[in-house]
A and B are shown apart, each in its own frame.
Chain A
Amino acid sequence: MKFTPEVLLVDDSPADIDLTTAALAGSKRHLHISSVNDGSEAILFLRREGKYGAAPAPDLVVLDLNLPRKTGLEVLSDVKHDPLLARIPVVIFSTSQASSDIGGSYALGANCYLSKPGTLPDFMAAVQSMADFWFGYASLPDKEKR
């Protein structure tokens, strides 16, 4: 059976979700992409609670920091403190280049911090190299039985 990686995009900007999705589509990899627009939804999705009972288990979470209701750092902290979720790689994908955000993310166990580039070619290249790395070169953990 061919492995189709599951990606969860967490971003409050529909424009960024579309742009990231377009970039991932451009990577020519066969991916399944889901998206949610705030931090609380992200946690519900990952725990398959409420309307997300049938949600797929992501192989990679791409997480924005500036989110309504629950910030990206709070989501990250919840994920890394949850034994069922902790092993899922989380890539922080944010405009912020503040050292406090970068350091704070790694301290909480982020697997990578990627700044959103300002121009389209750079944005596309960043997202595609992220997909190449995580789904082409990196070894991913087995999914937790839930």
Chain B
Amino acid sequence: MLIEETVASASVIPGKSGALSTPAPTERASGGLRVLLVEDEPADVELALKALSHAGFEVTSDVVQTQQEFTELLRKNSYDVILADYKLPNWNGMESIEILRAEGLDIPVMMVSGSLGDLKAVECIKQGAADYVLKDDLTRLPESVRRAVREKLLRDQNKSALEDLARSNRDLEQFAYVASHDLQEPLRMVAAYTQLLAERYKGKLDAEADKYIHYAVDGALRMQVLVRDLLAFSRIGRQSAGVGRIDCNTLMQNVLENLRAAIQQSSASIVYEHLPTVTADGSLLLQVLQNLVANAIKFHGTEPPVVRIAAEKKGREWVFSVSDNGIGIAAQHADTVFVIFKRLHTPTEYSGSGIGLSICKKIIEHHGGRIWFASEAGHGCTFYFTLPIEKYSTSSDPRSTSTAEKNEIHS
């Protein structure tokens, strides 16, 4: 799809064959069709315009013969459709498509020409012409123009919806970043001074006062965690250490090191098969693996947790899996576990702000992958995520997972 620049001027020149006088800007006639004809034969111009107006179009038109005139008018006015003759004295109508592309304009071009043969006609369409109409049979022209204009309108609407969405996403990210960043400072004051109050005046007021101060401290500390996590979340993709070749086995060693205390406390076994080397942002991928393994340990059942990490090449992507024997996730929560600050348990049951999985999701999507899980409440859970091989990751390990050696770590 061509990227269209906003054309500031919406003026048109009333149809004067071959005229290139200074145009007087007029209001764009609503429902009118603004046509630019690339044609050296005045009789053919007449015929084409007649065909359109007979079909009910209210046409305003300009006619050009040279590339220079064509480019000038494109820059000055905006058009709904271009009717171009294939054969012109010094250029051919197909070149108008190249000029449009160079100018960054998306205007449908109809080739209106004498018979060129099927091959040429197909070539025109391939090069980007909206349609090909024979001069000898202009009855097709109005319907073809109508369709091309309608398609253009749809393209514009799509593009503008996508732009709105992208802008709104950018604004939202910026807001999250600014809010979380700027909230930290005053929040630190509230937390520090309520704590100072608690420290210095505990037992000196009354029991009620002690309780209120405790609530204030608790609230401020919880909000600090939320703000810190929100900031971490909004930073993903903002500042990148850069993409490099990452051996996921080394990454897992770091994960085990970072989670050593939790692994020991829960007597967890972490099992990982020989993992691939991928191209990714190492610190971000580490966060994903660490969050998933930490969750697998945290939400354990009555048995000591056993967490298995594996990767399998499927088509053009690596499918990683992190499976556990923990409490599992009920199916109805499938959509909500990845939502930021969404928690399925009370803080007394399981700690945490509920940021972990949304961070995982954002990181994996940042790498062009997907993340999901399969689970049955009470029967463990497996999280899957993919990393595309083409764009971000490549395999350095031709061994299949079935023959892979196993590294097993016990607490």
Q: A residues near B, CB below 8 A? A: 13, 15-16, 19, 22, 95, 116, 118-121, 123
Contacts and interface: CB of A to CB of B under 8 A. Distances in A.
Nearest to B192: A120
12 contacts: A13-B189, A15-B192, A95-B184, A95-B188, A116-B188, A118-B187, A118-B188, A118-B228, A119-B192, A119-B195, A119-B221, A120-B195
Interface hub of A22, A118, A121, A123 (most chain B Cβ within 10 A): A118
Interface in B153-206: 184-185, 187-189, 191-193, 195-196, 199
Interface string B218-232: 000100100010000
Looking at chain B's contact residues, the main secondary structure is: helix
A11 B15 CA distance: 71
B316 to A, nearest CB: 35
A22 B191 contact: no
B192 A19 contact: yes
- Give me the 8 closest cross-chain CB pairs, A-B, nearest first: A120-B195, A120-B192, A15-B189, A118-B188, A118-B224, A95-B185, A19-B192, A123-B192
Contact of A120 (B185, B196, B228): B196
A82 B75 CA distance: 58
A125 to B, nearest CB: 13
Contacts of B193: 15, 19
B80 to A, nearest CB: 50
Interface of A is mostly: helix
A22 B224 contact: no
A15 B187 CA distance: 12
Contacts of A15: 189, 192-193
A120 B199 contact: yes
Interface string B115-132: 000000000000000000
B359 to A, nearest CB: 17
B324 to A, nearest CB: 32
Contacts of A123: 192
A119 B196 contact: no
B283 to A, nearest CB: 12
Contact of A118 (B184, B196, B199): B184
A119 B224 contact: yes
Nearest to A100: B239
Contacts of B191: 118-120
A116 B187 CA distance: 12
A116 B191 CA distance: 13
B253 to A, nearest CB: 25
Given A118-B224, A119-B191, A119-B224, A22 B196 contact: yes
Given A120-B191, A120-B196, 13 more contacts: A13-B189, A15-B193, A16-B189, A19-B193, A22-B196, A95-B184, A95-B188, A118-B187, A118-B191, A118-B224, A119-B192, A119-B195, A120-B192
A19 B195 CA distance: 11
A15 B199 CA distance: 17
Nearest to A122: B192
B186 to A, nearest CB: 9
Nearest to B239: A99
B184 A19 contact: no
A13 B221 CA distance: 20
Nearest to A116: B188
A92 to B, nearest CB: 16
Contacts of A120: 191-192, 195-196, 199
Contacts of A95: 184-185, 188
A95 B183 CA distance: 11
Contacts of A118: 184, 187-188, 191, 224, 228
A109 B228 CA distance: 29
Nearest to B231: A97
A121 B185 CA distance: 17
Contacts of B189: 13, 15-16
Interface in B312-366: none
A97 to B, nearest CB: 10
A118 B231 CA distance: 14
A116 B228 CA distance: 14
A95 B184 CA distance: 8
Nearest to B193: A15
Contacts of B195: 119-121
Nearest to B200: A22
A88 B47 CA distance: 89
Interface string B47-58: 000000000000
Interface in B208-224: 221, 224
A22 B195 CA distance: 13
Given A118-B184, A118-B191, A120-B191, A19 B224 contact: no
A37 B193 CA distance: 20
Nearest to A15: B189
B185 A19 contact: no
A13 B185 CA distance: 10
Q: From A13, A119, A120, A123, name the one whose CB has the most chain B CB atoms within 10 angstroms.
A: A120
A95 B191 CA distance: 14
A140 to B, nearest CB: 29
